Structure 1
């Protein structure tokens, strides 16, 4: 069984046992988190679609919190002898999917 969930303004296709990185969530490491905004559920019988399926949820365990690799930004103006360098490291939360509960549409 798999599901498509929404968190941090992004959609993720997940299955039980998978580990993925999502935008930072304010949850302690080791705690469980429940996602209720599920757009799609799929299994061998077919799929269920909807804008936030009622009764459907995905539970996950927080594995770690961290920062991604640095992305370097360079702004350069030709012929002006001007260059600006900047870096950014995005915060993330790594989660492991522990369960997918089906809902009715």
Structure 2
């Protein structure tokens, strides 16, 4: 069984028990959250429900495990023959969650 959810402007394919890093969410570690923007749920080869765009009444429940910051991404802008170079770094915040159940099923 798997589902496709949308959070933070991105889509994720999730299964129960999976650890997932998503854009920062409100809540503390140990809090339970629910993703209600479910695009697709597949229970088997012939049991697929697709939303238009979302499935109504369906949800994916998860537990927040931690908040953190990702690896540093280095950005270098270099202009040849101009004696010009700009260096910059960025670390994106994230929230790590564990998927508990899809639509109330374990």
Calculate the TM-score normalised by the size of structure 1: 0.94
Note the alpha carbon deviations across 1:37-66, whole angstroms, 9 max, x for none: 000000124200011101110000001000
Gaps spanning 5+ residues in structure 1: where?
A: none
1:75: Cα distance to partner?
0.5
4+ aligned runs moved over 4 Å, structure 1: none
Could you say what the CA RMSD is over the residues aligned between the two structures, in angstroms? 1.0
Distance in 2, matches of 1:99 and 1:46, equals 17
CA deviations over 1:42-98 (Å, ceiling 9, x no partner): 012420001110111000000100000000000001101111000000000000000
Whole-Å separation in 2 of the counterparts to 1:67 and 1:54:
33
Q: What pairs with 1:1-105 in structure 2 (closer than 5 Å)?
A: 1-44=1-44, 45-50=46-51, 51-101=53-103
Greater fraction of residues in strand: 1
Q: How many residues end up aligned between the 2 structures?
A: 102
Task: Give 5+ residue unaligned stretches, structure 2.
Answer: none
- C-alpha separation between the residues in 2 aligned to 1:42 and 1:73? 40
2-structure distance, mates of 1:55, 1:2: 17
Q: CA deviation at 1:22?
A: 0.4
